[in-house]
Amino acid sequence: MSTRGEGTQREGASTPLPRADFTPSGADETFWAATAEGRLLLSRCESCATIVWYPRPFCPRCGGRGITWFAASGEATVYTYTVVRKARGAYRELTPYVVAYVELAEGPRILTNIVGCDPAEVRIGQRVTLVFDPPAPAGDGEGEGEVRARLYRFRPSG
């Protein structure tokens, strides 16, 4: 996988974080296709009702094979974070940026970035809200019918 420029514009930062540049497969296609429409899908097990992250076509708790997709509310709190000051690859020139686990209102803790604020203002327990990177410009090298995934990140609420 690689990432490339032109993703989320960060307040106080001159360069956006790299946006998605990969081809999801299998059950993951449903999930990533929804990101293209600005929705973060979660899967619930039809047998034991567990909301499972990361998405997969079965339930790792009970082994159930039936899952139902639904859209997350987008509300979350910061479970933990780090301000990255030295990085490699597409992120190398973009430090400092914030990587975090946020706990979704629905339960799962997911890896993401906190954007739209000074990294020094991020705190554990802070309320944050889902934002998606802007869609890729039309005709930007993507094949016909290919999923145009967008990365989900979070910004301080309010």
Shortest CB 30 distance to other proteins, Å: 13
Phi and psi (nearest 5°) for 62? -115, -5
Phi and psi (nearest 5°) for 71? -85, 135
Closer to other proteins by Cβ: residue 45 or 139: 45
Shortest CB 157 distance to other proteins, Å: 19
What the block records as the tokens of 93 is 């020139």
Closer to other proteins by Cβ: residue 100 or 136: 100
Which residues bind to other proteins, rule: CB under 8 A? 1, 3, 17-18, 20, 22, 24, 28, 32, 50-56, 59-61, 79-89, 91-92, 94, 97, 99-101, 107-113, 124, 151, 153
Closer to other proteins by Cβ: residue 26 or 37: 26
Shortest CB 144 distance to other proteins, Å: 21
Q: Between β-strands 2-6 and 67-71, what pairing exists: parallel, antiparallel or unpaired? A: unpaired
In whole angstroms, give the CA distance from residue 8 to residue 150: 10
Direct distance between the N- and C-terminal alpha carbons of the chain, in angstroms, rounded to an integer: 33
In whole angstroms, give the CA distance from residue 122 to residue 155: 10
Task: Judge whether 147 and 26 are in contact, CB under 8 Å.
Answer: no
Shortest CB 28 distance to other proteins, Å: 6
Closer to other proteins by Cβ: residue 49 or 157: 49
